[in-house]
Amino acid sequence: MKSKNSMNYFSAGKVLALTIGILFWGGCKDLTELNINPNGASEEEVNPNLIMPTVLTEGAKLYLNLGYQDIAGVVQHTQKDAWAEGHNDYDWGGDQSWNAYYDVLRNNALLYKRASEENLEFHQGVALVMRAFMFGLITDLWGDAPYTDALRGDEEELTYIFPKFDTQETIYTGIIGELEQANSLLSKPSSEYAGIIGNADVYYGGEPAQWRKFANSLLLRYYMRISEKMPDVAKAGIEKIAGNPSQYPIITEAADDATLAFVGSSAADSWPNNLQFDDTGGSNYRRLKMCATLVNQLQALNDPRLAIWANRVQVSLKVDASLPAGTDRVEGNVRYLSPDKVAGVSIDQDPDYVGMPPSWSSSVPSSYNLNPTPGQLSNNPHVSFLNDMYKEASGPLLKARLLSAAEVHFILAEAAIKGWSVGNGQDHYNQGIEQSLAAWAAGNAYGDYINNAGVVYDGTIAQVMEQKWIASWTAATEAWFDYRRTGYPDLKAGPAALRRVLPVRFYYMQDELNINRQNAEQALERLEVTGYSQADDKNSAWSKPWLLQGTGKPW
């Protein structure tokens, strides 16, 4: 008998908890104002405005969970000081599941179906954008995946119960076509659309023009994603968008970023790991520390975002050769040490910010930098915690960021460096930085920052990717995908990492390999085993999918 979870993505199924977004997401009108039956409705009758909030909120939370959690560890934005194997060391165990992603897609399929039946073009456009976003994320993470046969398990043909895995090339080509269709559907003035309820759209409040920008900005993302494998297609697509802003409007200002704000009234609608609803007593927040790779680079660039994202160390270390042997005392906010107390130990004496090195230790990472209470997880006063705002359930900067103006400008800057006709590369690079600073309430610092050593434009893709990596804070999946494609920034695995290089994909889950074996094995055969795949064989986080094969990237 097939498990229920393993079949999540096969059919349009019964939609659960359609009212989650309406009930819990900010600013929504009550159900009587929406004129929707609070007791629910059948799939044949459900109002698309009931389905939309669930699709948008659950999709955004999945994306944030990646970029704020384990993928932030992969790209060395953060590290954990306990229960760190997956976050710090890429020891994922082969149990990564895409079920939740297909859950969102199943609800989204119903959204599109009901919108089509009701001739609601805005809702159709939104559904196509979210379909492209979610399928793009799945193939970015795993490689080949069910696409054309997915979500069809309720059709009469039994073949769809065990859907084939489409190639990455097929999926990327498909979602580009869907985004083109969305651009067309969302091209009319808002007054010409029926059925829009602004509060059901928790990203843009029911504004078709904003969703159109989101769709075309996703087009830029995926055209650049395939640029190493299909350069002619990518070049033509990006030049087409950049050269025709009236037909292809894009996100150019941080105010238009595709984001989900958090309400903060329950665990379901709050920033993850906040202290208000954290049943671990706050240890989930305390466990997450800044990574030295990011901290050191932000300090080198005198980047104002560091103070927004991180706390200063509570107690700095200072080794003083004039102190008598055996000295180890705290005065004020400084711990003074004689040289003999740190003999053979690498420490960071920065008085302001200290990050944990990547994959520093697999045994007791909490002992880093002479933590006086290693293993107790109550505190490490010598390493920077995340900023206090990340303890909160909600706040003006606590958003799931699906796509930003900064990302768009960095894509165009990279395209300009490649010699494509998209405008001036330096202008886009500068705008990428300016829009990222604006998004993090640091816009006033732009004039000084853009002239800092290391920030002044040098015309290299390496520099563009470094700034894009910085700007992807809490949306670290994009930094990982860019690193895989370009090799930048030049991230090195730490000593405790499972392999000597960073991973390039997620494992296919064991349930999928067992239940849909024939199709899964065909997908495995299309992976390229590398010298780092090792005992994992084909289904390895270090086996290369189509997107990377033949590129020599990232290693």
pLDDT in tens, 64-100: 999 999 999 999 999 999 999 999 999 998 779 999 9
- Is there a domain that residue 313 lies in? yes
Query: Which residue's entry shows tokens 């670290």?
Result: 476
Domain count, the chain: 1
> Can you list the alpha helix ranges (DSSP code H) found in 328-475?
405-417, 425-439, 446-449, 461-471
Confidence category of residue 280, pLDDT binned at 50, 70, 90: confident
Mean pLDDT throughout 154-171? Answer: 87
Contact 541, 92 (CB under 8 A): yes
- Is there a domain that residue 62 lies in? no
- Is there a domain that residue 101 lies in? no
Say yes or no to pLDDT of 389 above 50.
yes
- Is there a domain that residue 242 lies in? no
Backbone dihedral angles phi then psi of residue 544, each to the nearest 5 degrees: -90, 130
- Is there a domain that residue 311 lies in? yes
- Is there a domain that residue 314 lies in? yes
Nearest 5°: the CA angle 14, 18, 19 is 155
pTM (2 d.p.): 0.92
Distance separating alpha carbons of residues 244 and 229, to the nearest angstrom: 25
Mean pLDDT throughout 339-362? Answer: 96
Helix (H) or strand (E) holding 208: helix 208-225
Distance separating alpha carbons of residues 522 and 474, to the nearest angstrom: 34
**What are the Cα distances from residue 314, in Å, to 45, 64, 300, 311, 353?**
57, 28, 21, 8, 9
Q: Which range (141-155, 248-262, 385-399, 419-433) has the least confidence? A: 141-155
Exposed e or buried b for every residue in 451-470, given b needs 16+ CB within 10 A?
eeeebebeeebebbbbbbbb
Distance separating alpha carbons of residues 55 and 260, to the nearest angstrom: 12
Contact 258, 251 (CB under 8 A): yes
Confidence category of residue 24, pLDDT binned at 50, 70, 90: very low
- Amino acid at residue number 404: S
Distance separating alpha carbons of residues 457 and 89, to the nearest angstrom: 33
Contact 424, 447 (CB under 8 A): no
Token representation of residue 163: 């859907």
- Is there a domain that residue 540 lies in? no
Structural domain harbouring 367? 283-391
Q: For residues 228, 231, 237 and 242, what is the CA-based torsion angle, rounded to 10 degrees?
A: 80
Distance separating alpha carbons of residues 208 and 190, to the nearest angstrom: 6
Say yes or no to pLDDT of 3 above 90.
no
Say yes or no to pLDDT of 12 above 90.
no
**Mapping DSSP to helix (H, G, I), strand (E, B) and coil, where does residue 192 land?**
helix
- Is there a domain that residue 505 lies in? no
CA of residue 242 relative to chain centroid, distance: 24
